[in-house]
Structure 1
């Protein structure tokens, strides 16, 4: 078997294995944050409460309703075993990505908070809450968390002024939105070198205008305590979410409409996530680079029968383009 044929076979094999692994193990969301409520009590394994919780989690991936990514679900008849859940996807999500996010986040939340009757999780694109009590329409202060990028903007004063004005505008827009989608996104100039700040603010649609405005105002005050002067931050609360970055992170042109229903064959093409596509593309890119490198090495060997000493360049151990996130406690 020639070298080229072998490399093509190797590429096909690696891509096939990657596709199988990714289909069974969704990419991990590095933004996942969760809070387990120990005070809510625990349920037993294989109990009616766990069965009801599993029923709700399964409905996130099988429901044909979308409602702009907002879900208010319950399962169980007995007050002792009834589970209530409120879940929300970011306002620019389509139905397929929303379902994938909710199913993953709820599944991970149950895994990280085993046997807790109440828990909350926020991921990159959605939030999930469940409890053994009513959640709908109740403005709550806890749990909450602030996660920030430790870097500072190049022009902090201009950046902070622009951010403050932008958040005020977005808060008013989100709070005044209709009963199905309390979401606002926008950006503004933030100083020299063409810097801009991008932000989103969103409430769960069960919040009326006053409660939504109150929740987002609290989020802004927490932002000033934990990440004022940073280049990016997320303030996560039970009823609302605030996020800003120095780079675009939301879809500015997205119109969140329901995706087509799955075909009768039961295919799951609509649950392919952007993260999976990125991972596969990365694998393909690496394989292409390996193939090119080997071809160049073989060509060099043909042209130069006598081997030459080759110096190895030092490898930079720092990963560029990836900023650590820190999550201080909010007093």
Structure 2
């Protein structure tokens, strides 16, 4: 599979993509004023260790924590993909903690995404604050067809799926995610959207709408694409990439 990447507002990127692995990080270089032995850096280590040490994962696959006192408080949170088992979520966080410490050692804010989890820390509270500006998108280089009309038709079906999933996720305050599949000719398109559960329904909808809109110019018409943002993520593929036991989340028909 050949993959291309697009990004904005991301001063440092580490990208690794294979058939089984996806990793990307954002290190905020605008706030690099601390050193390895600073109080804030110590608090970052503590809050990341605390998040990664969670052996009991709640139903929302989401936790936020903070460590320290002003002005050196370190805030952290994680979100695991909704279908991921608790043990896999925990293992993903352990790897993310180690990687983010290595790649963003002097940043006061950072995000680390993989296929199955997201880990964030910052020197400000991130809870209930929607952030769609920090994002990364990746798409499959292979078009669904070489015929322009067929690409356009596929794009319409894929876009409609993602729009409907965004509405469902933002209206479900308990889950804040949605997934489904639709048929296109002899193919199936699988879609998934997910917000961090601390967001309001309105902010979740905004984050997902912006993300779906950003996919449109580059990803639709291709065999897959995804966008990961600090507060939400969206993805579609022509293969089944989730591990849910049923075909779709509870929903009315598309």
Answer whether TM exceeds 0.5 for this pair.
yes
What residue number does 1:158 align with? 153
Matches within 5 A, 1:1-331: 30-67=21-58, 68-76=60-68, 78-154=69-145, 155-179=150-174, 181-191=175-185, 194-253=186-245
State the match for 1:296 in structure 2: none
What CA distance in whole angstroms lies between the structure 2 residues aligned with 1:127 and 1:149?
Answer: 21
Q: How far 1:51 sits from its partner (Å)? A: 2.0
Distance 1:62 1:196 in 2: 38
Structure 1: any 5+ residue segments left out of the alignment?
Answer: 1-28, 255-331
Runs of 4+, deviation exceeding 4 Å: none
| Partner secondary structure for residue 243 of structure 2 | coil
| 1:122-178 CA-partner distances (Å, limit 9, x unpaired) | 111111111001100011232111111111113423322221221122111110112
Partners in 2 of 1:118 and 1:149 — Cα distance?
Answer: 29
The alignment covers a number of residue pairs equal to 222
In the alignment, which residue of structure 2 is the partner of 1:270? none
Q: Distance in 2 between matches of 1:33 and 1:177?
A: 28
Larger strand share, 1 or 2: 2
For residue 226 of structure 1, give the secondary structure of its aligned residue in structure 2: coil
Larger radius of gyration: 1
TM-score calculated relative to the size of structure 2: 0.82
Q: CA deviation at 1:108?
A: 0.8
Is the Cα contact below 8 Å between 2:51 and 2:76 reproduced in 1?
Answer: no
Provide structure 2 residue ranges, at least 5 long, that are not aligned to the other structure: 1-19, 247-254
